[in-house]
Amino acid sequence: MFWIVVSLCLPAIAAEKPAPPPVACEASVSVRHVAPGVPFDVICTMKIPPGWHVYWEDSGASGVPTLIELESTPDFVRSATRYPRPTRLHLPEGTVNAMEGEITLVVPVTPSSRLEPGSQRTLQFDIEWFICKEHCFIGGTNLAVPISVGEVAGPPTTVADKAQLIPQPIASRPGTKVRIRDKFLEISGPIDVAGRPGFLPVRSLCATFGNPNTTRDETMFHMRIPIDYDQPDSGVATCRIRGLLTFGVNQTDPAWMIDLPYQVSTGELDLELEKSK
């Protein structure tokens, strides 16, 4: 009798779960035609239904990052996906880094110098997401992006400006310095009218970040973030420290991407890097 009851109840339980929400995705390039060896951006746009969210490159306390994979080809080499500043949602399971509404993701791509001007190519991208509201669903799609190859790159397309809405590299922020020293990530620079500075890390298998210690005066701030390094068995590892320098609390407030390479060798940090402009 127990198994009969269970079998009768399962369809009713399953029926209570809604269908996955529709997610519209499209992609195009930042220039009307690319040039051999000249980097360009692929601009991907996702439209998330109201009330739902997907996840940033570091999802936080739960969730799965939104990923974009380029079909392997020797003629096009991609760099790390650039994400918008996420919204911090405080959920029962903890704080998550969410992306809502219309989302722009940017994939920098460098074409081979051997590409033939006048040719036509197609880039194949797979996008995977984990979308949540009261329920969560795994979703994904494949996008084909046509590429025209010219002698020189350009002109910019109508979507090229969307890349400027993504956090820019920290080196482009005037007066700002970033360095790794004595197992601390140190950031200093001018304050911003948007609000207090903060740091949103991208977790790594190589490093764990502590809580930032920030001091400031009327014009400048200085932030020190502890870093614990995971010593690899091989003795040497090259990793990256990634995260956002943020100001204020809103998704549209300023944010800058920090992306630093470092080497961990036996017992000490081998890299001290400073960037300023």
Which residue has better confidence, 274 or 45?
Answer: 45
Dist. CA 204–CA 274, nearest whole Å: 21
The pLDDT tens digits of the residues spanning 150-160 come to 999 989 999 99
Q: What is the pLDDT of residue 262?
A: 75
State how beta strands 255-265 and 268-269 pair. Answer: antiparallel
Residue 183 CA to residue 168 CA, distance in Å, equals: 25
**Reported pTM:** 0.85
Indicate whether 270 pLDDT > 60.
Answer: no
Burial of 18 (0-12, 13-18, 19+ CB in 10 A): exposed
| 265: confidence class by pLDDT, cuts 50, 70, 90 | low
Q: Report the pLDDT averaged over residues 118-133.
A: 96
Q: What is the pLDDT of residue 235?
A: 52
Give me the residue spans of the domains in the chain: 19-165, 168-269
- Please determine, looking at this structure, whether the domain spanning 19-165 carries the CATH number 2.60.40.10: yes
The pLDDT assigned to 254 comes to: 96
Span 158-172, pLDDT tens digits:
999 999 889 999 999
Q: Do domains 19-165 and 168-269 have the same CATH topology?
A: yes
Q: Residue 205 — pLDDT band, cuts 50, 70, 90?
A: confident
CATH label, 168-269, candidates 3.30.70, 1.10.3470, 2.70.98, 2.60.40: 2.60.40
Is residue 236 predicted with pLDDT exceeding 70? Answer: no
